[in-house]
Structure 1
Amino acid sequence: MKSNNPVFARSEEFNRASSNAYGNQTYAGGGSAYPGYGDAGTDPSTWGTGAPGQVDQGRMTVDSVVQKTAMSVGLVFVTAFLTWWWIGDMVTTDSFGRTVADSDALGQASLLAMLGAGGAFLLSLVNSFKRVISPALVLAFAAAEGVALGAISKVFDAQFGDGIVTQAVLGTFAAFIGTLAAYKFFDIKVGAKFRTFVVAGMLGMVGLGLLSLVLSLFGVQTGLFGFGTLGLVMSIVGLTLGVFMLILDFDFVENGVAAGLPERESWRAAFGLTVSLVWIYTNLLRILAILRGD
């Protein structure tokens, strides 16, 4: 079944994997086995990972996906920390001894958030529609996303404090572990309708976000991504979609590993997982901020 997920839809390998039963390699023309991967029914110990004279790319494995995802998410953390440190203190005291926001630091954080988010958005489009995944572009996306998250997190920490960022980070990883456990223990199966629903919901939220941004430039506030009741509802919906996105990621990884995809596709899986984790974190951060605001 051809993928509806924009992250994986441009990957011929993933689409072939999802259209075949687990382990049926039909990447080469005419339905023949992938060069060097061995024919079905032969002794696995005799299988190779590359034809004579061909560069050995290896197979995508769970370990390779974990390694690439750790690199991507780790880079997000590093750039977010550096951005946080570079902005410095966002609160200061005025001449009357009152605690106020530092306008210079706030301006720096806003600029970095816009630049990072804009760069990450453009790179996410490139990575999503690129047929051959580029590790450099995946890491560039992670770096840009880290800049945006570092600046945004700094603002939220200054405004709401009390470890809100730490709680959002821990909640994100808890959501990841919980979703993975549910996926494996309950043997969740992903169907075409579920894929369509999740991707449509994700694209819909992105579209609403862009629309709200454009309207805000003309002084129209929709409240969809604010800190009121409507903003809370949208954040909960976004968090739920983020968990569903993780399920799609796990499904594609499982199919890809079972089908013996080229090792480079681990970067595509890492990109998808990073997008989902960032999506969950930002929505969880807003939920905590709204609850504290009340």
Structure 2
Amino acid sequence: MLRTGNPALKETTFLDLSSGTVVSRDGEAMTLNGTVHRTAVLLFLAVLTAAFAWNSVAIGPEGPSANFGLYLWGGLIGGLVFAFATIFKPAWSPVTAPLYALFEGLFLGAISALYDARFNGIVLQAVMLTTGTLFALLFAYRSGLIKATENFKLGVVAATGGIALIYLATIALSFFGIRIPYIHESGLIGIGFSLFVVVVAALNLVLDFDFIEQGVERGAPKHMEWYGAFGLMVTLVWLYVEFLRLLAKLRK
């Protein structure tokens, strides 16, 4: 059984709905190299729009410029729309995955500009930590140091679900002016919570690697290269944002 904490990657994604088996309708199958290349394209598109948003907003002593909200919320909402479109219609991923990356880049550029204005150099640190974590986990997975066993998958999925519930509760309670204490602050508990979230996000990379590898072995359709790259991109975005949050707490 395949199990992953990433909502974009689930076992039934690779299945033909009519027969319950993996089918490559166009005669070409998903490859690992193809998925790597698609991931590189998505990262390039996200960096492109992130750089544009970063250079377009201004963060002054009185706060961000008026167009900050446009890039932040426009990128976030647009990214969510194309993310859900990709999840529910994987065959659309060659189009929707790049659009997701473009919109997500706007969000990342805006939020990165805000963090960097408050904590100089924090964005470069977060990028380096995210990149280093990606390659470290990839090496550990490929070398067999970390194996995606069923117990490992179950633990990561359970932890990811718990974090998602905490974040949803935080958003819901914020509408009533209620703030969950400690975990979002810069004290020891808050830093410990962010460290835990970063570790769980990083371990989701292992599950994503395993899921993509299983798709290649099963001969999934060619368009699943874009879908696998999209799923990996979702985890990397989450990991990067969590690194920003952790570093900001440490700076405080």
TM category, shorter: 0.7 to 0.9
In 1, Cα distance between equivalents of 2:219 and 2:93: 19
2:218 aligned with 1:217, yes or no? no
Contact preservation (8 Å) 1:10, 1:129: no
Deviation of the 1:280 alpha carbon: 1.1
Would the aligned equivalents of 1:10 and 1:128 in 2 still touch at CA under 8 Å? no
Correspondence for 1:78 among 41, 44, 48: 48
Matches of residues 1-12 of structure 1 in structure 2 within 5 Å?
Answer: 1-5=1-5, 6-9=7-10, 11-12=12-13
Whether 1:285 aligns to 2:244 is yes
Distance apart, 1:217 and its partner CA: 2.7
Residues 200-239 of structure 1 mapped to structure 2, 5 A cutoff: 200-223=158-181, 224-239=183-198
Higher radius of gyration, 1 or 2: 1
User: Within the alignment, does 1:135 sit opposite 2:105 as a pair?
Assistant: no
For 2:74 and 2:245, how far apart are their aligned partners in 1?
Answer: 20
Deviates more, 1:227-236 or 1:75-84: 227-236
Does the 8 Å contact 1:3/1:9 carry over to 2? yes
The TM-score, its normalising length taken from structure 1, stands at 0.75
User: Which residue does the alignment assign to 2:228?
Assistant: 269
User: Is the 1:72–1:139 Cα contact (8 Å) retained in structure 2?
Assistant: yes
8 Å CA contact 1:133–1:267 kept in 2: the answer is no
Is the 2:39–2:230 contact (alpha carbons within 8 Å) kept by the matching residues of 1?
yes
Q: Matched residue of 1:132: which SS? A: helix
Residue type of the alignment partner of 2:106: V
When the two chains are superposed, the root-mean-square deviation of aligned CA atoms in Å is 2.7
One-letter amino acid matched to 1:69? T
> Which structure 1 segments of 5+ residues have no match?
17-26, 36-53, 92-100
Q: Normalising by structure 2, report the TM-score.
A: 0.87
SS at match of 1:218: coil
Write the distance in 2 (CA, Å) between the matches of 1:216 and 1:147. 25
Match for residue 103 of structure 1? 63
- CA change 1:258–1:272 in 2 (3 A) is same
- Matched with 1:171 is 129
C-alpha distance after superposition, 1:121-157 (max 9, x if no partner): 3433343343535222212221221111111111110
Q: Once the two structures are aligned, what percentage of the paired residues are identical?
A: 33
Gap change, CA 1:29 and 1:130, over 3 Å in 2 = closer
Equivalent residue number for residue 251 of structure 1? 210
Q: What are the within-5 Å matches in structure 2 for residues 32-181 of structure 1?
A: 55-56=26-27, 58-88=28-58, 90-91=59-60, 101-103=61-63, 105=65, 107-161=66-120, 163-181=121-139
User: How many residues were matched structurally?
Assistant: 250
Letter in 2 for 1:103: G
Residue equivalent to 1:184: 142
Paired amino acid for 2:96: L
Q: Counterparts of 1:113 and 1:257 in 2: how far apart (Å)?
A: 35
1:287 and 1:278 map into 2 onto residues whose CA distance is: 14
Structure 1 residue ranges (4+ consecutive) displaced by more than 4 angstroms after TM superposition:
27-31
